[in-house]
């Protein structure tokens, strides 16, 4: 075998090894995204199960704002539809509505001392707040996984393998400008 043939075969072996390593890295990133989504999904489902309990406790107080409860119920349904469809942009929008509605429930509850003192309401509020914090953490991990994936499939020479196996950019779980803004306490508490 000539030196030219040996060099050519060595280059082919190196290219194949690089392709395999790159492909395996892309598979790992894809599965990290799926795992991050599954973690979000678990917490969304848990919160989904807790919200009817919260709405029911609030409904027991006849004078409690029914419009606020209706908005939360509708937002909950939107989150469920987006979650089941794995529609990340729709989930982001629905989450914004739900978080705003929950914020309103907790703010309006301040005007109802009996409700605020209700042990079941306090437990639900604590549980939902903990779930919200967990969802925020998982959203951060999901977006980091998506970002790593999206960068990797655009970098040369990895993009060759990514295009060969039809890897596409994944959407980030985005938040509205209103959710990122500082809370207007005067508007929230009507002072």
Chain segment 70-117, per-residue pLDDT in tens? 888 899 999 999 988 888 888 888 888 888 888 888 887 887 788 777
Measure CA 67 to chain center. 26
Mean pLDDT of 47-56: 88
Backbone Cα Rg of the chain: 24
Instruction: Match 């309990």 to its residue by tokens.
Output: 53
CATH of domain 3-178: 1.20.1440.20
Length of the chain: 191
């Amino acid at each position: 075998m000539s030196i030219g043939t040996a060099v050519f075969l060595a280059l082919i072996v190196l290219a194949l090894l690089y392709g395999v390593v790159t492909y395996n890295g892309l598979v790992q990133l894809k599965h990290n995204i799926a795992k991050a989504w599954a973690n979000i999904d678990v917490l969304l489902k848990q919160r989904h199960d807790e919200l009817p309990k919260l709405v029911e406790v609030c409904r027991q107080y006849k004078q409690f704002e029914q419009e606020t409860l209706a908005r939360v119920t509708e937002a909950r349904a939107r989150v469920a539809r987006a979650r089941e469809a794995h529609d990340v942009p729709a989930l982001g929008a629905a989450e914004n509505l739900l978080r705003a509605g929950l914020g309103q429930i907790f703010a309006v509850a301040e005007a109802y001392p009996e409700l605020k003192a209700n042990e079941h309401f306090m437990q639900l509020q604590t549980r939902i707040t903990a779930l919200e914090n967990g969802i925020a953490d998982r959203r951060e991990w999901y977006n980091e996984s998506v970002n790593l994936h999206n960068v990797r499939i655009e970098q040369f020479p990895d993009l060759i393998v990514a295009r060969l196996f039809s890897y596409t950019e994944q959407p980030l779980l985005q938040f509205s400008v209103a959710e990122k803004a500082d809370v207007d306490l005067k508007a929230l508490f009507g002072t």
